Amino acid sequence: MADQGWFTSRSDELFGWARRWSLFQYPFATACCSMEYMSASCSHYDLDRFGAGWPRWTPRQSDVLFVVGTINHKMAPVLKTIYDQMCEPKWVIAIGVCTCTGGFYNNYAVVQGIDTIIPVDVYIPGCPPRPEAILDAVIKLHEKIQTERQSRRGGEWVKESVEG
């Protein structure tokens, strides 16, 4: 950050603020945790006050992937394809213990954590996690987005921390 000028550092903060308050989400819901995810979107908890209200119905229009529920090995390539279709910058929130670690489905058919397929930014444990935990994860993602700078190096997008 020391080699960055005043304008560059301030524009990074502005872009971080804009990304933070305009999260376009894509839900990938496969199991029972999706009920709690839907509760977080309702008026009592109001996910929209964090800029993540309306889900997008195509991954090409979204920048946050909410993975909710058990992922089996047959769904893993579908999840990877959806992640690859998302535009940069993109983030992933894993909701529920089955998504994070495979849960109590410790068998041959279930992926033991989606971080073996795609990178995960925020984990939400619980079976099922409360809507407050989902809101807390969105707040944690806000903090992460605010402190990241996106840059393109060698044709690849790179996320760098700008905390100082």
pLDDT at residue 87 above 60? Answer: yes
Show Cβ contacts of residue 43 under 8 Å, excluding neighbours closer than 6 positions: none
Contacts of 12 (CB under 8 A, 6+ apart): 4, 149, 162
Domain CATH code at residue 109? 3.40.50.12280
Express each pLDDT in 89-107 by its tens digit: 899 999 999 999 988 888 8
End-to-end CA distance of the chain: 8
The pLDDT of residue 71 is: 94
**pLDDT over 70 at 160, yes or no:** no
Beta bridge partners of 27: 66
pLDDT tens digit sequence for 44-82: 777 777 766 777 788 888 989 999 999 999 999 999 999
pLDDT surpassing 50 at residue 23 = yes
Q: What is the pLDDT of residue 12?
A: 64
Cross-strand partners of 29: 68
Task: Please give the residue range of the domain that contains residue 80.
Answer: 25-148
pLDDT recorded at residue 1: 47
CA distance 23 to 159: 17
Choice between 49 and 35, residue whose per-residue pLDDT is larger: 35
Q: Is the pLDDT of residue 151 over 60?
A: no
Residue 135 lies in a domain: yes
Confidence class for position 28, pLDDT limits 50, 70, 90: very high
How many domains does the chain divide into?
1
122-142 pLDDT tens trace: 999 998 899 899 889 988 988
Is residue 141 domain-resident?
yes
